[in-house]
Amino acid sequence: MSIDKFVTLESSCVPLPIENVDTDQIIPARFLKATTREGFGDNLFCDWRYDKNGNPKPDFVLNNPVYSGQILVAGKNFGSGSSREHAAWAIHGYGFKAVVSSFFADIFKNNSLNNGILPVQVTDGFLAQVFDAINENPKVLVKVDLENQTISVPAKGISEKFDINPYKKKCLINGYDDIDYLISISENIKAWEAKAEK
């Protein structure tokens, strides 16, 4: 198996200036009865996106045609709470390739990376500037360059470096997955077991 490759991305953004967005909001528990990875995108942010009768709520950003793009920009502490990878599947399924925030919850970060979604952690100040830029022009392009680990808003002349684990970076650029790697070192694992279990 492999994940989507990620090199650079230039796209308009969908802004979600709310803090502490937890995975229960990203995908509510009642959608977790599935046994495959497909189809979660339709229920991304379901309870914010649709009313009780399943009609789109006009004031939620995903229902606002002004905003579109492959980058989700969200408030601080995104993806907290439940470890459900379904949250990453929903974001991926909807078509996002990167999420920008000033803080990510640990498990969500891993889950994103394991699904080829790049979590871009920026400073609070830069995040505020990105929200401002989108406010001014909803079509403003944001550029994420994984090779150079930079995120920029070319139209505003602002850019910032972001951190990523070098191994994870390599995986994303090449579309590798951890399991392939671990299987490739199974001899080491066996040797470790033999030592530990004797």
Partner 1 sequence: MAGKTLFDKIWEKHVVANVEGGPSVLYIDRHLIHEVTSPQAFGGLKARGIKVRRPDKTIATPDHNIPTMDQHLPIHDELSRFQVNKLKENCEENGVLMYGLNHPYNGIVHVIGPELGITQPGMTIVCGDSHTSTHGAFGSIAFGIGTSEVEMVLATQCLMQSRPKTMRINVEGALQKGVTSKDIVLYIISQISTGGGTGYFVEFAGSAIRSLSMEARMTICNMSIEMGARGGMIAPDEITFEYVKGREFAPKGEAWEKAVAEWRKLPSDADAKFDKELHFKAEDIEPMITYGTNPGMGIGISGKIPSLNEVEAASVNTFKKSLDYMGYQPGDAMVGKPVDYVFVGSCTNGRIEDLRAFAAFIKGKKKADNVTAWIVPGSKQVERQALAEGIKEILEAAGFELRQPGCSACLAMNDDKIPEGKYAVATSNRNFEGRQGPGARTMLASPLTAAAAAITGVISDPRTFLS
Binding status of residue 110 toward partner 1 by CB under 8 A? yes
Instruction: Name which position in 66, 155, 173, 189 contacts partner 1 (CB under 8 A).
Output: 189
Q: Please, which of residues 11-50 interact with partner 1 by CB under 8 A?
A: 17-20, 22, 24-25, 28-30, 32-37, 47
152 forms part of the interface with partner 1 (CB under 8 A)? no
Query: Measured from the CB of residue 154, what is the shortest distance to partner 1 in angstroms?
Result: 26
Edge-first strand listing for the sheet containing 142-145: 8-11, 142-145, 150-153, 158-161
Q: How far is CA 20 from the centre of its chain?
A: 14
Q: Are residues 94 and 86 in contact, defined by beta-carbon separation less than 8 angstroms?
A: no
CB 188, min distance to partner 1, A? 5
Q: Report H helices in 28-152.
A: 46-49, 86-94, 106-113, 124-136
Rounded least distance, CB 72 to partner 1, Å: 17
**Bridge partner list, 13:** 71
Note whether 198 binds partner 1 by CB under 8 A. Answer: no
Identify the three-state secondary structure at position 11. strand
CA–chain centroid gap for 57, Å, is 23
Q: Is 149 in the site for partner 1 (CB under 8 A)?
A: no
Candidates 6-14, 56-64, 138-146, 159-167: pick the segment binding partner 1 (CB under 8 A): 159-167
Q: Does 84 bind partner 1 (CB under 8 A)?
A: yes
Can you tell me which residue has the tokens 């495959």?
36
CA distance readout (Å), 107 to 34, 50, 58 = 20, 27, 31
- Distance CA(140)–CA(13), nearest Å, equals 8
Number of residues that bind partner 1 (CB under 8 A): 57
- Which residue ranges make up the site for partner 1 (CB under 8 A)? 1, 17-20, 22, 24-25, 28-30, 32-37, 47, 52, 75-77, 80-86, 88, 103, 105-107, 110-111, 114-115, 124, 165-168, 170, 177-179, 181-183, 185-186, 188-189, 192-193, 196
